[in-house]
Structure 1
Amino acid sequence: MHTPASMVTGIVFAPLGLVLVFTAAITPQWREGQARLGASGPGSPLRSGAKGQGKGGARPASAGALLLLRSDGLWESCLQVENSELKQCWPVAGSYRRDPRVRLAQGFILTSLFLCGTGIMLACIGVRCWTDTPLRGVAATGGLLVVIAGLLSLTALSVYTHNLPRLGMADPSKAIKSARFPRLSLHPAGSLYFGWLGSCLQMLGGSALLFSFKRPAYPDCPSCLKLRVCPACRPCPEIPNRPDNDVYEVSC
């Protein structure tokens, strides 16, 4: 069977988009921030840790301060001290986890992954590479699900990116204002870019599969104008009046 180019494009791009969106969903680098934390004062929470690290080998870049790196994802947050092995990750909690925009992004991403996986399965069934005639309606339905999945993931990424500095900050009056815990300046991180790229590939692959709804136009058989010539099927007979020739009615 000659698989249409639109189906090939959809079958290639849709799974790639699914992998990228899934990678973005499970990694904690949706937003990142850093702050320089003083380590020389007696009240510093990392003073003892810095001393212990200095005895073991590599010391921080600055003897008087530590660079604290914070990253947040949809389901996990991490905290790390630069140029050290001090890193800790934990499930999202507190006001960040309860933020309705974070919950919206979580729900949309999970729904997007489910719909995209279902659409890819339908597209694979519709292409039917082991037969001569593809199930165009099934493949196009799979493409429609992939397009919806791409729209959902794009919506989740847009909402998260637009509100990125304010996520988890719904109650500024209750925020800890202390020199020991400086406020981080947050910015988009790598997982967001994986998500954007994956969503665009989902849209492209799903749109290509949607073209499966359209039946291709085949030329007329020169010796029998009532028949259509399908490139994937047998050609029409050149001399239909001969008794030893069979006439095939092709339906593609």
Structure 2
Amino acid sequence: MRTPVVMTLGMVLAPCGLLLNLISTLAPGWRLVKGFLDQPVDVVLYQGLWDICREQSSRERECGQQDQWNYLAAEPVLVARGLMVTSLAVTALGLLLATLGVRCWQEEPHFVLAGGSGVVLFAAGLFSLIPVSWYNHFLRDRDVLPAPASPVTVEVSYSLVLGYLGSCLLLLGGFSLGLSFAPWCEERCHSCRKASPSDLRRSSISTVYVDWPEPALTPAIKYYSNGQHRPRPAEQGVASKPKVGFPMPRPPPKAYTNPVDVLDGEAAESRGTSSRSTRPCHSTLPCDSDL
């Protein structure tokens, strides 16, 4: 099957966030200090988590400068070191789990493992966003983050911006991969809904079976079904007995004979006595002359 969009998006955003956080952690550019009175105007200091660099006119850059104000020992710097390194390690673990869970070379991805990697990457984004936000909050506080007195000014540098971007990409990538839990949760909820006892109880209430007594039917209806007559139980027993012997021939039907002479009246008419016979018919059947 094709890799889901949420997995593809997470696999693209998470490595980008890892790269930006790595640059932000190692590069000495969290804070920019400039405006020194005893140095040339174009001299600036880049302060990071591990080192301090001096740059002049973008031509000369010298790192490993002496920490005159005890900047590297400040609490926000020490906390940022630990959390940024932790974020990098957790991000690497999340990407490993995502690679095993997405498995673009297989037919079906492992949704649970991919979703778990999204949770890990989202936590890595939080680990990097907390120190970046805390450092930015105390950026101009010279008591928390030591810096020379005025007129020296402090500004946000590029490493802090990269830290913000990397944290946001990790959060988005982790959230996108976390959506891989949706198919797994839908399948589990569907199976639980099938085996839910409340559904079984509801079905037993909605379906009521009543065993009504069979009504007594008349013989004409009781032994007639599907357009055919069925023999009664007594007749079924008789019909089931085998017949013995051979069939006897039936006598031919008797012919109907009329004992009255139906031609008597016609003979009298032929003699001219009368057009209609006055002799009463001795049979209950009508004579031919009457017809």
Asked if TM exceeds 0.5, the reply is yes
The count of corresponding residues between Structure 1 and Structure 2 is 185
Give the Cα–Cα distance (whole angstroms) in 1 for the partners of residues 93 and 122 of structure 2: 12
Tell me by how many angstroms 1:124 deviates.
0.6
Partner secondary structure for residue 164 of structure 1? coil
2:135 match: 160
Structure 2 residue 97 is matched with structure 1 residue 129: no
In structure 1, the residue matched to 2:12 is: 12
Correspondent of 1:72 among 47, 51, 56: 47
Q: Which structure shows the higher strand fraction?
A: 1
**Identical-residue share of aligned pairs (%):** 35
TM-superposed deviation, 1:74: 0.9
Change (3 A) 1:176 1:125: closer
Q: How well do the aligned residues superpose, as a CA RMSD in angstroms?
A: 2.5
Structure 2 distance, partners of 1:171, 1:190, is: 18
- The alignment's TM-score, normalised by the length of structure 1, stands at 0.67
Structure 1 counterpart of 2:64: 90
Amino acid at match of 1:21: N
Determine which structure has greater relative contact order: mean sequence separation of CA pairs < 8 Å that are 6+ residues apart, divided by chain length: 1
For 2:83, the equivalent position in structure 1 comes to 108
CA contact 1:146–1:203 (8 Å) conserved in 2: yes
Give yes or no for the alignment of 1:197 onto 2:165. Answer: yes
Tell me, yes or no, if the aligned pair for 1:75 and 1:91 is still in contact at 8 Å: no
Distance 1:83 1:110, change over 3 A: closer
One of 208, 222, 240 as aligned partner of 2:176: 208
Give unpaired runs (5+ residues) of structure 1.
39-45, 47-64, 219-252
Output the amino acid matched with 1:82: S
Unaligned runs of 5+ in 2: 188-291
Moved more, 76-85 or 189-198: 76-85
- Give the 3 Å change call, closer, same or farther, for CA 100–35 of structure 1 in structure 2: same
Q: Once superposed, which parts of structure 1, at least 4 consecutive aligned residues long, lie more than 3 Å away?
A: 91-94, 169-172
2:4 matches 1:24? no
